[in-house]
Structure 1
Amino acid sequence: MPWSPRAVLLRDLVLGILGTLAFLIDLGADLWAASQYVLSGRYLWAALVLALLGLASVALQLFSWIWLRSDVSSPLAPKPPGRHLALLHLLQLGYLYRCVQGLQQGLLVWRQEVPSEFDVAYADFLSLDISMLRLFETFLETTPQLTLVLAIILQSGSAEYYQWVSICTSFVGISWALLDYHRALRTCLPAKPLLGVGASVIYFLWNLLLLWPRVLVVALFSALFPRYVALHFLGLWLVFLFWVWLQGTDFMPGPHSEWLYRATVATILYFSWFNVAEGHTRGRATIHLVFLLNDSLLLVVAWATQSAWLPSGRLLQSLLPAAGVCFLLGLALRLAYYCWLHPSRRWEPDQVDGTWGLRSLEERQLPQNRRMAHLAKNFFPKPRDEAVLPWKGEVNGVL
């Protein structure tokens, strides 16, 4: 049964509140873990936690500020960013400001009996940017933090209570970001099949089940060879950066800022799949999966042939087989999702998600969030009947 307009608005507002709380809780857990490392005299671990937090925060502020500057010409941008916004980004509060702004706009729309065209469009515009920034934060900070905590546990052979809190909050943050990003992409399409609970659960599970084994083997390599993990990351990161460059991405407003995006995508690809270009998605995803699988197997072989024995050796004997089962299950769910549940860019005006569905066809002519709309075209395939009829592409200016 389709959601009512008021229910859709309330759902999006609640999701926005939960997403902001998840970010704050995860940030608090990381700062708490860093303080505990300092109190216990483990200064290097504390420095690594804070370094990951700092690098990810700087990247998020850069993305946010560049987008604010480039959106000045958009009808959805109320006014150019002022000095107070520049100061907030300099103080590393730009992303949090966007979250608060999105919640305020969502509350404004929800309180209107008949939401105005501009307010609804602006709420969508803000929520899409927040979802993208949340995804970047997940792979620039949360996932590396999770890898670091697991490496510390594997190296020490024991886990403290604050480390378990960090692990739990990291998994919640990663799961939330992946599902929220998928939901955000769907709102960029003028119409699409409804995102049911079953499809949401399967999409969430296959991402998490494939990500967990990768995080574990990287953490294992970090625990065994802490001096070489940076070289391993840098080597693969350069390969992925070159691959992203070959695909000719066009996400950011300028050529220099585009390299920031490519560097971020290369970091995501180190852990998980992320599509950046249209066409032959299945082939690229398969190449990436095989490449990451081979690299993970090599990392496991390095552990198996290592003469030194970690204190958590017995724990690894159960974790690694469990990781293999998770990988196979995640792969099966991924195939099932893309075979039967992944929607196409078909025009079905009666089946829409999000606040986009509250508007008429004429109102949908408002400018969209160009960045996320571009990614949605890469993420969702064209219907087969459109793909085989060249005249449709010619009419739409594709060919």
Structure 2
Amino acid sequence: MPWLPRAALLWDVVLGFGGTAAFLIDLGADLWAAGQYVVSGRYLWAALVLALLGLASVALQLFSWLWLRADPAGLHAPQPPGRCLALLHLLQLGYLYRCVQGLQQGLLVWRQEAPSEFDLAYADFLTLDISMLRLFETFLETTPQLTLLLAIVLQSGRAESYQWVGICTSFVGISWALLDYHRALRTCLPSKSLLGLGSSVVYFLWNLLLLWPRVLAVALFSALFPHYVALHFLGLWLVLLFWVWLQGTDFMPDSCSEWLYRATVATILYFSWFNVAEGRTRGRATIHLVFLLSDSVLLVVTWVTHIAWLPGGIPLQMLLPVSGICFLLGLALRLVYYRWLHPRCRQEPDRVDGAWGLRSLEWRRLPQNRRMAQLAQSFFPRVRDEAALPQKGEANGVL
């Protein structure tokens, strides 16, 4: 095998280890924070941290279990017995099991001198599911936890060491999950170009810079009106859920589980952009950006009209301008990315990321992740490939 493909396979394994480690570190930081709140007598804060952690974990296990049940029979062999697999998900270990399974498959492929195309395709199949689950976990647990943590810091006027750790790991983890998901989507389209270092850095930065002002606006409102932030979230979430429903998503195996997906997407849209429908995305992305910006401005104005200084003497005049600069810089980087770095700007059919670049022309016969391929065609509307989306019921397909 040529050196470059083997290096790409090794890089995929390293990223897999990094993603799993980041998940465990973030989980440890949350449990650490909850424990510190209990020790200091802040039982409500500890309960909120654990509640967000538990709800996100349950949703994650449901997605993992439903996908495994919908996958073709024998695709994942050998697997633990059905009852053991169900028990793993019941014990909230389904996602970690998938991470371990993906790492094992990645190492298996990397160690082989000439890995079979099935092994290569199956490794990517697992990686795509893990990437999607990581994104869900990020916006169902990490982002709300970050908002709660910032609200607590704003209320108390100071941040402890464990809170600084939580803030830093959360911001980096969220941006990394978005980048990893974007990178995973590109592997679904054979006609895409490489996601280079420059593209990765720009994509990472603009997501980080646009996310910070939104999280801060919600945190400011939460610190001032802790009893009303749930109503604010519910009201916007219902509007976003209706919008997702109007776009006619078809991601999950059945109509009932599809509502779980739509509810999750609505939660993501509360914080960041997420495309779920085919066609031109510019209009929908602009509408969503204006919607979130308007809501964030209203939250900040509401906060300003009630209190002009943060507890502990932190001047608002310093905090909000920095957030505004972050938003403008993030918006500028986003425009730069979609103008010069998006796949539609640099189509190179023979260059692809990771293991998918080693496929032969008979890849239709191999395991294909229809879930992610469908989202990829929605995310990259001008870089379509007929082979990237197998029809329902096709052999070795999903759902």
Structure 1 residue 381: Cα displacement: 2.3
Query: Separation in 2 of the partners of 1:345 and 1:92?
Result: 42
Q: CA deviation at 1:363?
A: 3.3
Q: State the alpha-carbon separation in 2 of the partners of residues 265 and 363 from structure 1.
A: 30
1:309-388 paired onto structure 2 within 5 Å: 310-312=310-312, 314-344=314-344, 348-363=348-363, 365-382=365-382
Q: The residue matched to 1:351 in structure 2 has which SS?
A: coil
1:172 Cα shift?
2.1
Residue 293 (1) aligns with residue 293 (2): yes
Counterpart amino acid of 2:289? L
- The 5-angstrom pairing of residues 266-305 of structure 1 reads 266-305=266-305
- Gaps of at least 5 residues in structure 1 are none
Inter-partner Cα distance in structure 1 for 2:366 and 2:346: 19
CA distance in structure 1 between the partners assigned to 2:266 and 2:113 by the alignment: 44
- RMSD (Å), alpha carbons: 2.1
* Counterpart AA for 1:78: A
**Shift of residue 349 of structure 1?**
3.8
* Residue identity matched to 2:314: R
Amino acid at match of 2:333: L
Query: How far 1:141 sits from its partner (Å)?
Result: 0.4
CA-CA distance at 1:309 after TM superposition: 5.4
Q: Provide the secondary structure at the position in 1 that maps to 2:170.
A: helix
> What one-letter code is carried by the residue in structure 2 that aligns with 1:158?
R
Instruction: Return the offset for 1:313.
Output: 5.4
**Residues 356 and 364, structure 1, Cα contact 8 Å, conserved in 2:** no
Matched, 1:35 2:35: yes
Question: 2:347 & 2:150 partners in 1: Cα distance?
Answer: 45
Q: How does 1:129-140 map to 2 (within 5 A)?
A: 129-140=129-140
- When residues 348 and 307 of structure 1 are mapped into structure 2, their CA distance, relative to the original with a 3 A threshold, is closer
Shift of 1:358: 0.9
The answer to whether the Cα contact below 8 Å between 2:29 and 2:162 also exists between their aligned partners in 1 is yes
Q: Deviations over 1:224-262 (max 9, x none)?
A: 000000000000000000000000000001000000000
Larger CA deviation: 252-261 vs 175-184: 175-184
Stretch deviating more after TM superposition (182-191 or 94-103): 182-191
1:4 is paired with a residue of what secondary structure? Answer: helix
Tell me which moved more, 210-219 or 317-326. Answer: 317-326
Report the residue type matching 2:75 in the other structure. L
8 Å contact from structure 2 (residues 280, 381) kept in 1 = no
Report the counterpart of residue 76 of structure 1 in structure 2.
75
Instruction: State the 1:79 CA deviation.
Output: 6.0
Q: Equivalent residue of 2:169, what SS?
A: helix
CA distance in 1 between counterparts of 2:307 and 2:167 reads: 29
Q: Give, as a single letter, the amino acid of the residue that structure 1 aligns with 2:290.
A: V
Alignment of 1:70-149 (within 5 A): 70-73=70-73, 76-78=75-77, 82-149=82-149
1:240 aligns with 2:240: yes
CA distance in structure 2 between the aligned counterparts of 1:349 and 1:243, rounded to whole angstroms: 34
Contact 1:151 1:220 survives alignment (8 Å) = yes
1:177-326 aligned at under 5 Å gives the runs: 177-307=177-307, 310-312=310-312, 314-326=314-326
Label 1:303 to 1:312 Cα distance change in 2 as closer, same or farther (>3 A).
farther
Aligned equivalents of 1:77, 1:29: Cα separation in 2: 33
Q: What pairs up with 1:46-61 in 2 under 5 angstroms? A: 46-61=46-61
Query: Is the contact made by 2:309 and 2:316 (CA closer than 8 Å) also made in structure 1?
Result: no
Distance apart, 1:314 and its partner CA: 2.6
Q: What are the superposed Cα offsets for residues 65-90 of structure 1, whole Å, 9 maximum, x if unpaired? A: 000000034x6333676111100000
The answer to whether the 8 A contact 1:131-1:181 is kept is yes
- Structure 1 residues 308 and 33: CA distance shift in structure 2, 3 A: same
* Secondary structure, counterpart of 1:131 in structure 2: helix
Aligned length: 386
Tell me which amino acid in the other structure corresponds to 2:253: P
Partner of 2:394: none
Change in CA separation of 1:308 and 1:168 when aligned onto 2, cut-off 3 Å: closer
SS state at 1:360 partner: coil
- 1: distance between equivalents of 2:208 and 2:168? 13
Cα deviation 1:160-187 (Å, max 9, x = unaligned): 1110011111122112211110110011
**1:218 touches 1:299 (CA, 8 Å); kept in 2?**
yes
CA distance in 2 between partners of 1:201 and 1:84 (Å)? 41
Q: Secondary structure at the match of 2:314?
A: helix
SS at match of 1:344: helix
C-alpha distance in structure 2 between counterparts of 1:369 and 1:43, whole Å: 43
Change (3 A) 1:289 1:110: same
The separation in 2 between residues aligned to 1:105 and 1:191, in whole angstroms, is 25
Q: How far apart in 1 are the matches of 2:352 and 2:206?
A: 24
Aligned-pair identity (%): 82
Alpha carbons 1:147, 1:219 under 8 Å: kept: yes
Closer, same or farther in 2 for the Cα pair 1:14/1:372, shift >3 Å?
same
The answer (yes or no) to whether the contact 1:345–1:381 under 8 Å persists in 2 is no
SS in 2 for 1:306: coil
Contact map agreement 1:185 1:373 (CA 8 A) in 2? yes
Shift of residue 344 of structure 1? Answer: 3.2
Does the 8 Å CA contact 1:346/1:382 hold for their aligned counterparts?
no
